[in-house]
Structure 1
Amino acid sequence: MNEPALREPRGLPKVSVIIPVKNAARTLEKTFEFLLSTSYPFDKLEIILTEGGSSDATVEIIKKWQAKYSLIKFIQVPESKNAGQARDAAVKIVTGEYYLFTDGDCAPERDWISNMVEPFFIDSKIGAVGGEILTMRVDETNLVESYCQQIGFLLVSGRAGIKESGYFPEIKKWLPSEVNGSVTSPFFATANVAFSKKAFDEVKHFWDESTGEDVDFSIEVQKKGYRLYFSKEAVTKHIHRASMKSFFTQLFSYGIDHPTLIKKHACNVLEIIFQLPFKDISLRVPFLQPALIYVGSFHLMHISLAVSIVGFLFGYKNYAQISFFSSLLFAVWYFIPVFKIRPLKHFFTFAKIRYLTNWGYILGSLKGALKNKTGYIEMSWKQGRH
């Protein structure tokens, strides 16, 4: 893809950085330290935090930093049901020309703001710019953090086939796999995204679902005729969940709203995606409503094991044995990426994280499918990438 040459804007625009927080005391100090080390001039910057009823020291931390820096604005929105509503509350008081979103567990690099704003001056049809999301380790002994870093959890490079700075591909067929928030979907997470005021005003607000507001908003921006642009140099480092339970819950919540996304945005197609080792194969047929089913090694090892158990119970010994060995082969296929994660002495812990979070993702999608009365089975982790 030919990337247009970037040019410096004439005079730096006013920028608003919006950060919704709730119970972020573990990570928020780091966010402030990095964000306030920005190379962007303070007189062209405002930072707005919306706090949603924390039970830890989040409010005290915000007030401490606010006392030092007048550019920090702070509003409390205890009635907000989700991060999307908290962001909308911040937008009501912004004064910037561009809205940059990140989270209270993120650490933007020094030139993050400049690198996010610059692409908007390439093309007036760029409505959103997203940057790269890397991992920041705050506890070198924490194996969940180590796992997330080594698999590239939340990494933007490679999403929708884009690995370098440039335009994201436009959604053309509106297939379920294009709008469900997976690695094939062109969207930017609100950990690292900027919208022009014009584009944001046309979409107006984030949706009211518990998660998935970043995917939905990115899609709505594209529906308004704007383009998405990836700036690889605009880096934010993410401090990941510290426990297996919180990581499981995160993936479960992601899975819940993926069926909502396809019901709202996808065409009426049943899409079955066979996740093969080197290339996925997609089967698409017209359907009464959007539906998406993934079939990968995670699903197949459980299906084969279930068939094996049924075979033994009903006396079909040969079929049971074949199914059992098939289940073992699919299990090996599924866990092979774990051998790349270091140190190997923690192989079984990393395998457990991979396995349980995949269950969380799938169970969340099944709950979302029941809620939306649509067909949806989430993907099997493959090649280490979630």
Structure 2
Amino acid sequence: MRSDQAEKRFLPKISVIVPIYNGEADLPGLLHCLRAQTYSSDLVSYCLVDNGSHDRTSEILKSASQDAQNFVVLSESQIQSSYAARNLGIRSTTGEILVFTDADCRPEPNWLENLIQPFEDLTVGLVAGEIKALLGNTILEQHADRQETLSQKHTLAHPFCAYGQTANLAVRDQVFEQVGLFRPYLTTGGDADFCWRALSQTPWQIRFAERAIVRHRHRSTLAALRSQWRRYGRSNRYLHELHGVDLMRDFSLQDYGYRLTRWLFKELPIAAIHGLQQKATLADLFSTPIGLICAHARTTGQRHAHLPDQARQIEWLHEPKNS
């Protein structure tokens, strides 16, 4: 016989949507984590959307769908954009709550249970779970871990408006009915754009589920790190054009010179002493130069980005009533 507490558990039907592009290396780990979820398998479906992959992604996904009835495989090959892939998933699922993550993420077993609970409050339309780092060995990975680069604490405290990253985000289905889906031709910044539309155009609120943890691998090479921060810069430019977000101030040569001089003659000696006392690591020693590399890449991305007209389009589940 069930206890009253078990009877009152909040267990809505949910759909997890994952856009995938060339995910051959990441999919086995992701699929393992999804299969390990403690949320009732009868109440969750996993919608895996192949976004035009050229590796063994489709083969791996086909095998996964054959092994489990609640794994559904779709293909978005017309538009190369994770947001277009997510939109296909949204249109194809029936969950009361739609949950988003990415192929290179590793959700903890109780991820879904913790992510869904804030929706017991009927004013909550969006919930952001936490994003933490997978263990990394390189200086760059350790630096990003110390900075909590991917943490939702940063996005939820955004000075313009709070938002959650789609690596770990849950949304009520009614929100998409009201404000539309993701902009399908946008290549970055679509999570902030969607959340800001939802929070500015409706009374829905956003909550942080800190114990709903997804782990993500930080970039381990300078090329990958620069690419990541250039994308952040492009996102800032796009959101400036869409929502009026302030642009970041460009770093001048004097700014870089001052920061490097301060690092060389003040921060580095202090960090070196701490290192000798085993109170600092190489990531601490080189924190400022790595931070300046990130800042330069982000500035470059912002400076050279321009929002294509096509990327302004919003897809709708249904035509808006005022159209």
- TM over 0.5, shorter chain: yes
Question: Per-residue deviation at 1:115?
Answer: 1.1
Counterpart secondary structure, 1:16: strand
Question: CA–CA distance in 2 between the matches of 1:144 and 1:15?
Answer: 36
The Cα offsets for residues 168-193 of structure 1, whole Å up to 9 and x where unpaired, read as xxxxxxxxx733xxxxx411000000
Q: CA deviation at 1:148?
A: 2.4
**Counterparts in 2 of 1:11 and 1:159: CA distance versus 1, 3 Å:** closer
Residue 260 of structure 1: how far off its partner (Å): 2.0
Residues 165 and 191 of structure 2 are in contact (CA less than 8 Å); yes or no, is this contact kept in structure 1?
yes
Checking the alignment, whether the CA contact within 8 Å between 2:263 and 2:288 is kept in structure 1 is no
Tell me how far apart the structure 1 counterparts of residues 14 and 50 of structure 2 sit (CA, whole Å): 20
* AA in 2 matched with 1:188: G
Cα distance in structure 1, aligned partners of 2:259 and 2:283: 26
Q: From 256, 267, 282, give the equivalent of 2:234.
A: 256
Give the SS at the match of 1:194: strand
Instruction: Indicate the residue corresponding to 1:366 in structure 2.
Output: 303
Deviations 1:291-322 (A, max 9, x none): 43437xxx36x2267xxxxxxxxxxxxxxxxx
- Structure 1 residue 129: deviation in Å? 0.3
Structure ID, larger Rg? 1
CA contact (8 A) 1:128 1:196 kept: yes
Q: Closer, same or farther in 2 for the Cα pair 1:244/1:331, shift >3 Å?
A: same
- Aligned twin of 2:315: none
Q: Which residue of 2 aligns with 1:378?
A: none
2:221 pairs with 1:221? no
Distance 1:347 1:109, change over 3 A: closer
Identity of aligned residues (%): 24
Corresponding residue for residue 328 of structure 1:
261
SS in 2 for 1:61: helix
> d(CA) in 2 for partners of 1:250 and 1:77?
24
**Quick one: structure 1 residues 325 and 141, their matched pair in 2 at CA, closer, same or farther if it must change by over 3 Å?**
closer
Q: Could you say what secondary structure the match of 1:79 adopts?
A: coil
> Equivalent residue of 1:80, what SS?
coil
Rounded Cα–Cα distance in structure 1 between residues aligned with 2:66 and 2:191: 31
How far does the alpha carbon of each residue in 1:199-237 deviate from its partner, in whole angstroms, 9 at most, with x for none?
122122101321000000110110222111011111111
Aligned residues: 297
Match of 1:206 in 2: 182
Distance in structure 1 (CA, Å) of the matches to 2:269 and 2:91 = 49
The unaligned stretches of length 5 or more in structure 1 are: 1-6, 162-176, 180-184, 267-289, 306-323, 373-386
Q: Secondary structure at the match of 2:214?
A: strand
Q: Contact between 2:130 and 2:151, CA under 8 Å: does it hold in 1? A: yes
Q: Which has the higher contact order (CA 8 A, sep 6+)?
A: 2
Query: Which residue of the other structure, out of 211, 232, 247, is the alignment partner of 1:292?
Result: 247
The verdict on how the C-alpha distance between 1:245 and 1:9 changes in structure 2, with shifts beyond 3 A counting, is farther
Which residue is 1:17 aligned to? 16
User: CA RMSD of the aligned region, Å?
Assistant: 3.1
TM-score, normalised to structure 2's length? Answer: 0.81
Q: In the alignment, what sits opposite 1:98?
A: 97
From the superposition, tell whether residues 158 and 367 of structure 1 become closer, same or farther in structure 2 (CA, over 3 Å).
closer
CA distance in 1, matches of 2:13, 2:80: 29
Please state whether the residue corresponding to 2:182 is helix, strand or coil: coil
Aligned to 2:173: 197
- Residue in structure 1 matched with residue 72 of structure 2 by the alignment: 73
CA distance in 2, matches of 1:325, 1:109: 42
CA distance in 2, matches of 1:361, 1:334: 23
Letter in 1 for 2:130: E
Contact 2:24/2:55, CA 8 A, preserved across alignment: yes
Say if 1:53 and 1:334 are closer, same or farther in 2 by CA, change over 3 A: farther
| Alpha-carbon distance in 2 for matches of 1:32, 1:251 | 28
The code of the aligned residue for 1:54 comes to S
- CA distance in structure 2 between the partners assigned to 1:337 and 1:27 by the alignment: 40
Residue 9 of structure 1 deviates from its aligned partner by: 5.6
* Pick aligned residue for 1:145 from 141, 145, 163: 141
Offset from partner CA, 1:218-270 (integer Å, 9 cap, x none):
1011022211101111111112334321221121112112122123223xxxx
User: Taking structure 1 as reference, are residues 74 and 361 closer, same or farther at Cα in structure 2, changes over 3 Å only?
Assistant: same
1:62 aligned partner = 61
State the SS of the aligned residue for 2:247: strand
Tell me, which stretches of 5 or more residues in structure 2 are unaligned?
1-5, 309-323
Secondary structure (helix, strand or coil) at the match of 2:151 reads coil
The 1:149/1:327 distance shift into structure 2, 3 A limit, reads closer
**76-85 or 61-70: bigger deviation:** 61-70
How far did residue 125 of structure 1 move?
2.1
Which residue does 2:163 correspond to in 1? 187
Contact 2:17 2:86 in 1 (8 A): yes
- Which residue of structure 2 aligns with residue 26 of structure 1? 25
**Which residue identity does 2:192 align to in structure 1?**
V
Q: Judging changes above 3 Å, is the alpha-carbon distance between structure 1 residues 231 and 71 closer, same or farther for their aligned structure 2 residues?
A: same
DSSP-derived class of the 2:38 partner: coil
Structure 2 counterpart of 1:78, which letter?
Answer: S
Note the alpha carbon deviations across 1:15-61, whole angstroms, 9 max, x for none.
10000010122222111111110111111010001111112222222
Residue 195 of structure 1 and its aligned partner are, at CA, apart by 0.2
8 Å CA contact retained: 2:107, 2:215: yes
